[in-house]
Structure 1
Amino acid sequence: MALRNAVLAALVEGEASGYDLAKGFDASVANYWMTTPQQLYRELERMTADGLIATRVVEQERRPNKRVHSLTPAGWRALREFTTEPPRPTAIRDELLVKVQAMDIGDLAEVRASVAERMTWSRAKLARYERLRDRVLDGATEQAYLIEAERVGPYLTLLRGISFEQENIRWSELALTVIDRRLLARQLGP
């Protein structure tokens, strides 16, 4: 999937600055799409040139002017077309998994530290997602929200992010248990 499709989907919520989009990517879209602010700003320029988004300058007092972006009719069409295309299969590219694959001939303590760091990161991300879920629901039950909300796509992707981080934590706990046993066995010797 191209970054442009993720940007188009983010702009469905309405006009936004590059800064707002970057914050939104970090807070909600990060559960399924990662980008750097530099990549995002380059893509916004390309999308403006391609006529998918309109950009206007908003003058601000005591702050630099900001550029805000919104979908054009061509952008709406491109997003609708994207939703009709079959998705490509997902592929995991995770450096940590390569380290775990090679841990038996590597530095087991360093791999353990990397797994523990991933678990800490996943717990923090899960906590952020759960706080976001609570804000979105705003006291409503999930069932009521899914029936009554105007748009449920962002909520469904948030749920996927939550389950992804829960699984990362579960796997990390298992991996740490196995690695700790192996480290202990090495200390005790044959």
Structure 2
Amino acid sequence: MALRNAVLAALLEGEASGYDLSKGFDASVANFWMATPQQLYKELERMESQGLIEARVVQQERRPNKRLYSLTEAGRQALVEFTTASPKPTAIRDELLVKVQAVDEGDSEAVRTAVAERLEWARAKLARYDRLRARLLAGRTEEEYFAEAERVGPYLTLMRGRAFEKENVRWAERTLSVLEQRSTLPA
């Protein structure tokens, strides 16, 4: 999937500056798509030149002017074309898993440290997703949200991100337990 499609999907929420999109990626699409601010700004320029988005300049006092981006009809059509194409299966490409695969031949303490770091990172992301979930639901049940919300896509992708991080926590805890048990075995 191209960054372009993630940006188009993010702009469904409405007009946004590059800074807003960058910060919004952390809260809305970071559970399934990552991008650095530099990648995002480069993509915004490319998309504007392709006519998928348009920008308007907002004059600001005491701050640099900012550009607010919005979808064009061509951008909406590109998003429709993307959503109708068959998705490619995803594959896990994770350096940590390569280290765990090689733990028996390597520095098991370094691998345990890396897994523990991943565990804390997953717990922090899960907590962030839980806060976002509470904000989206705003006291409603999921069923009420699905019946009343204008857009359900952001919540559905959030559910997937939460499930992913929950599994990361479960896996890391189990992996640390196994590695700890193995470290106490006689050589």
When the two structures are superposed, what TM-score results if normalisation uses the length of structure 1? Answer: 0.97
Shift of 1:55: 1.0
Shift of 1:61: 1.4
* 2:62 is equivalent to residue 62 of structure 1: yes
Q: Give the corresponding residue for 1:81.
A: 81
Q: Give the corresponding residue for 1:16.
A: 16
| Secondary structure at 2:30 match in 1 | helix
Q: Where in structure 1 do 4 or more consecutive aligned residues deviate above 6 Å?
A: none
Shift of 1:183: 1.2
Shift of 1:73: 0.7
| Secondary structure at 2:140 match in 1 | coil
Letter in 2 for 1:140: R
Whole-Å separation in 1 of the counterparts to 2:181 and 2:27: 36
Q: Give the corresponding residue for 2:171.
A: 171
1:90-134 CA-to-partner distances (Å, cap 9, x unmatched) read 011111001000110000000000000000000000000000000
1:27-52 CA-to-partner distances (Å, cap 9, x unmatched) read 22110001100000000000000000
| Secondary structure at 1:103 match in 2 | coil
Shift of 1:64: 1.1
1:6-29 CA-to-partner distances (Å, cap 9, x unmatched) read 000000111100000000111221
Letter in 1 for 2:116: A
Letter in 2 for 1:3: L
| Secondary structure at 1:97 match in 2 | helix
Whole-Å separation in 1 of the counterparts to 2:103 and 2:128: 31
| Secondary structure at 1:105 match in 2 | coil
| Secondary structure at 1:70 match in 2 | strand
Percent of pairs with identical residues: 70
* 2:2 is equivalent to residue 2 of structure 1: yes
Letter in 2 for 1:13: E
1:33-80 CA-to-partner distances (Å, cap 9, x unmatched) read 011000000000000000000011111112111111000110010001
When the two structures are superposed, what TM-score results if normalisation uses the length of structure 2? Answer: 0.98
Whole-Å separation in 1 of the counterparts to 2:102 and 2:87: 31
Q: Give the corresponding residue for 2:99.
A: 99
| Secondary structure at 1:61 match in 2 | coil
1:133-152 CA-to-partner distances (Å, cap 9, x unmatched) read 00110001111101111100
Q: Give the corresponding residue for 1:159.
A: 159
Letter in 1 for 2:103: M
Q: Give the corresponding residue for 2:34.
A: 34
Whole-Å separation in 2 of the counterparts to 1:26 and 1:148: 25
Q: Give the corresponding residue for 1:134.
A: 134
